[in-house]
Structure 1
Amino acid sequence: MIQEKLNQLRSIFEEMDTALIAYSGGIDSTLVAKVAFDALGDRSMAITAVSPSLLPEELDDAQQQAQIIGIKHELIETEEMNNPNYTSNPVNRCYFCKSELHDKLKPLAIERGYLYVIDGVNADDLQDYRPGIQAAKERGARSPLAEIGITKAEIREMTKILGLPWWDKPSQPCLSSRFPYGEEITYEKLYRVGRAEIFLRKMGYSNLRVRSHGDTAKIELLPEQINDFVLKTNLSEVVTHFQSLGFTDVTLDLEGYRSGKLNQVIFSPQEVKA
């Protein structure tokens, strides 16, 4: 089944002739970039949007992965932070982010002669609350992973089949997802959340979130890591570092990390998929 879906994905790109990939460096868009390059070679190109909501370390990863794949890779700057519909952080914030991205990508694709703009939306994303998907659709983007019904777990399997070393890379959505809806997003808040997460990553906790609630940081770790964190970590060092970033209080979420947790204000916990 996995190999069959991978073959279908290749066939989609072979039929496209040219493709421009909205490439974040995450595992989904990186698989798309890899298969597109294998099918189209120099008739494919990956574009990464650079903004304050993208960690510099994630940008470095994206550049290194594109180099390993061999695909042409360029950066563009997006300006969603200039849009109060985005920075006010409404429940459909992602719609305005993706609108800004695809309003940049579509004319670029036309200018460069790429017939399609492709994103990394997968089948699981369609089951979650993702208003950005609609923004991309409105601007003509295609989502081959979702079209075929490829899930996140299958993406990891395909990435492993293709021999790419980042098959187990944790998901890393934009830093704006760390704020409860309605809390204003600023450059300073994005920076401190990002640096707080990098600090914990360097301690060995790769799959985590630091949620911002005003000036309080809430650390979410995998449930199985919480006990070791409490018992083995120098907690005062963590607090001191977070306070140096501008947080006044630091808490630990005892439920643990669960992607999409902030969507509970929109849906019941049973309705929030991931």
Structure 2
Amino acid sequence: MNPESTRAAIERVLADCGPVIVACSGGIDSLLLATIAHRRSPSTTVVAHTVTPAVPGEGTGRVVTHAERHGWTLELVRSNEFEDERYLANPTDRCYFCKTNLYAAIAPLRHADIARADAVIVSGANTDDLGEYRPGLDAAAEAGVRHPFVEAGVGKAGIRAVARHLGIVEADLPSSPCLASRLYTGTRVTEARLRSVEAGESVLRAEGFEIVRCRRRDAAAVVELPIGDRDRVTPALLD
């Protein structure tokens, strides 16, 4: 499909949903979904963003900027995953507990306004996500969340193509899962560890490294970069 037909397919799914609450992390997938939903029906679209130590500040900044620029109805919510021992223990299905808490925090927005009573929570999951281990999708299914990109048969490449077509500056933004994903399984999730990961990645991005992961295992840190970038790393950057 070309970008226009892809966009039309997404809009058909959104029309079938009726009023929507877009779970928007600040990545290109959910930013595009929020953009299309708002342009299609601003009065029945709410954008929800969770403020948590696991979400990079840059992601929150992007969501707030788009909301202010385009007039989105934005709700900032706080989820309770940091009060959930199952999440903090960082098991292999940590994502399930993260998303369970996320959707539980978003659900009350339906009752904040009578116009939202029948609103459907929608996410930016796409067809590329279906071939991976994504326990968060189980949490979404339990919460009745719909995935317009999946229903429209759209993957990451299609998302980027539509985003470019619509002039969204983040169209080529590298994928960046939540900061908790940087911790090795079994390494306890703490705010301090997530802050150190975010700070390390911010330093490297400021030096021109676009794709970077700083991973933590207890006191040890591992920096992951594309092979072509490794020769650019100096000892000073790792201090």
TM-score for the superposition, normalised by structure 2: 0.94
Please tell me the residue identity of whatever aligns with 1:175: L
Report whether the alignment pairs 1:182 with 2:186. Answer: yes
1:61 match: secondary structure: helix
- Candidates 120, 130, 133, aligned match of 1:129: 133
Conserved 8 A contact 2:89-2:187:
yes
User: How many pairs are equivalent?
Assistant: 235
Residue 84 of structure 1: how far off its partner (Å):
0.8
Change (3 A) 1:214 1:75: same
| 1:57-72 → structure 2 map (5 Å cutoff) | 57-72=58-73
Q: Deviations over 1:195-242 (max 9, x none)?
A: 111111111112110011221111111222112x14xx3x1x2232xx
Conserved 8 A contact 2:79-2:104:
no
Conserved 8 A contact 1:17-1:40:
no
Q: List gaps (5 residues or longer) in structure 2.
A: none
* Alignment partners' CA distance in 1, 2:112 and 2:78: 17
* Alignment partners' CA distance in 2, 1:14 and 1:135: 24
- Candidates 201, 218, 235, aligned match of 2:205: 201
* Alignment partners' CA distance in 2, 1:119 and 1:128: 16
Residue 38 of structure 1: how far off its partner (Å):
1.1
* Alignment partners' CA distance in 2, 1:15 and 1:148: 12
Report whether the alignment pairs 1:239 with 2:238. Answer: yes
Conserved 8 A contact 2:13-2:151:
no
Residue 66 of structure 1: how far off its partner (Å):
2.6
Conserved 8 A contact 2:127-2:149:
yes
* Alignment partners' CA distance in 2, 1:66 and 1:123: 26
Please tell me the residue identity of whatever aligns with 1:90: P
Residue 128 of structure 1: how far off its partner (Å):
0.7
Residue 110 of structure 1: how far off its partner (Å):
3.8
Residue 41 of structure 1: how far off its partner (Å):
1.1
* Alignment partners' CA distance in 2, 1:206 and 1:66: 25
Structure of greater relative contact order (alpha carbons < 8 Å, 6+ residues apart): 2
Residue 65 of structure 1: how far off its partner (Å):
2.3
Please tell me the residue identity of whatever aligns with 1:177: S
* Alignment partners' CA distance in 2, 1:175 and 1:201: 15
Change (3 A) 1:15 1:219: same
Larger Rg over CA atoms: 1
Residue 111 of structure 1: how far off its partner (Å):
3.6
* Alignment partners' CA distance in 1, 2:238 and 2:123: 38
- Which residue number in structure 2 is paired with residue 40 of structure 1? 41
- Which residue number in structure 2 is paired with residue 23 of structure 1? 24
- Candidates 148, 152, 156, aligned match of 1:148: 152
* Alignment partners' CA distance in 2, 1:171 and 1:16: 26
Conserved 8 A contact 1:51-1:77:
yes
| 1:1-274 → structure 2 map (5 Å cutoff) | 1-2=1-2, 3-112=4-113, 113-114=115-116, 115-227=119-231, 229-230=232-233, 233=234, 235=235, 237-240=236-239
* Deviates most, 34-43 or 105-114: 105-114
- Which residue number in structure 2 is paired with residue 244 of structure 1? none
Conserved 8 A contact 1:25-1:65:
no
Please tell me the residue identity of whatever aligns with 1:100: N
1:62 match: secondary structure: helix
Q: List gaps (5 residues or longer) in structure 1.
A: 241-274
TM-score for the superposition, normalised by structure 1: 0.82
Runs of 4+ more than 3 Å apart: none
2:47 match: secondary structure: strand
* Alignment partners' CA distance in 1, 2:102 and 2:74: 16
